[in-house]
């Protein structure tokens, strides 16, 4: 059996770089939208909340 020699410093850097790229992708998805897309998503969320509240049995 031969084991592959791995430089731990470069491995840590690669893992950190992958994590930063994952965070950047999430930011691009949330911040890279037009104003119309943002307002549409907000309106859909508010509509869903109103619809859920309308179906409650007891009013607070």
pLDDT in tens, 1-31: 788 888 999 999 999 999 999 999 999 988 8
pTM above 0.85, yes or no: no
Q: How many domains does the chain have?
A: 1
- 13 in a domain, yes or no? yes
Tell me if 59 is assigned to some domain.
Answer: no
Decide if 40 is inside a domain: yes
SS3 assignment, position 13: helix
DSSP H or E segment with residue 9: helix 8-31
User: In the prediction, which pLDDT does 60 show?
Assistant: 61
DSSP 34: -
User: Per the domain annotation, does 3 fall within a domain?
Assistant: no
State which residues form the domain around 27: 8-54
């Amino acid at each position: 059996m031969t084991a592959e020699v791995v430089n731990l410093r470069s491995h840590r850097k690669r893992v950190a770089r992958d994590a930063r790229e994952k965070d950047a992708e999430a930011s691009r998805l949330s911040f890279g939208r037009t104003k119309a897309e943002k307002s549409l998503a907000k309106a859909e969320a508010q509509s869903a909340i109103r619809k859920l509240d309308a179906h409650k049995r007891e009013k607070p």
